[in-house]
Amino acid sequence: MKFKRILLKLSGESLQGNQGYGIDVDRLNDYAEQIKQACEKGVQVGIVIGGGNIFRGLSGAGKGFDRVKGDQMGMCATVINSLALSSALGAKGVKSRVMTAIRMEPVGEFYNKWNAIEALERGEVVIMSGGTGNPYFTTDTGSSLRGIEIEADVMLKGTRVDGVYTADPEKDPTATKFSEITYDEIYNRGLKVMDLTATTMCKENGLPIYVFNMDVYGNLLKVLDGEPIGTLVHN
């Protein structure tokens, strides 16, 4: 596996580190350093970050928030995370730009596929925030959409687990890991890699997903070097 352009999906929850909420600066800097290393390999990096460390629309709806307003709050949370990552990258000398799915100038540039690709080709990291800009869609779906739009070779889904298992490894000690698995098998086994909308988009548009543990420093480079540390999901 050699990738020229990747869509890196980062979890908002992972950004909180051990704090339980908000942004852990050490974790943020770890991510920024790994992304810098990827850029130094000549890989074009597009990024989508979740917002669960700040606000999650769906759980907000369960607590009485209007679902649409809750999802919009979640979109704003992803913008906060994206600005934090952009700032951390800038401190390491990496050029990046934040694009938003809803108009928010001068906080970020309004997302446009062509501008995103031009920036990637210039070697800038493009952080695409605000999900799809619509309620009822997760940031997983946002990352599938953006990955397909920017014509990425792969979506690298950085999570807390090191791949896709037969069951939740945090709950079932007998769960075994797949080195690769097809989209159809994920459906048939009822496995949760991403939500169904996101998975279907990747399947229909032939975008492979590589699931790995981003919270272990150095793992991103290992994935880019072709080390089999996660799970490849493909057609």
Token pair, residue 1, equals 């596996």
pLDDT of residue 16: 94
C-alpha separations of 219 from 7, 12, 15, 193 in Å:
15, 18, 16, 19
pTM over 0.85: yes
pLDDT of residue 1: 60
pLDDT of residue 59: 74
Q: What is the mean pLDDT of the chain?
A: 95
Secondary structure of residue 204 in the 3-state scheme: helix
pLDDT of residue 209: 98
**Residue at token pair 């779906």:** 141
The pLDDT tens digits of the residues spanning 57-87 come to 777 677 888 999 999 999 999 999 999 999 9
The pLDDT tens digits of the residues spanning 206-222 come to 999 999 999 999 999 99
The pLDDT tens digits of the residues spanning 125-154 come to 999 999 999 999 999 999 999 999 999 999
Instruction: Show the domains of the chain with their CATH numbers.
Output: 5-234 (3.40.1160.10)
Largest CA-CA distance found in the chain, in angstroms, rounded: 50
Region 81-102: what's the mean pLDDT?
Answer: 98
Is the pLDDT reported for residue 22 higher than 70? yes
pLDDT of residue 2: 80
Phi-psi region of 128 (alpha: psi -120 to 50; beta: other; left: phi over 0): beta
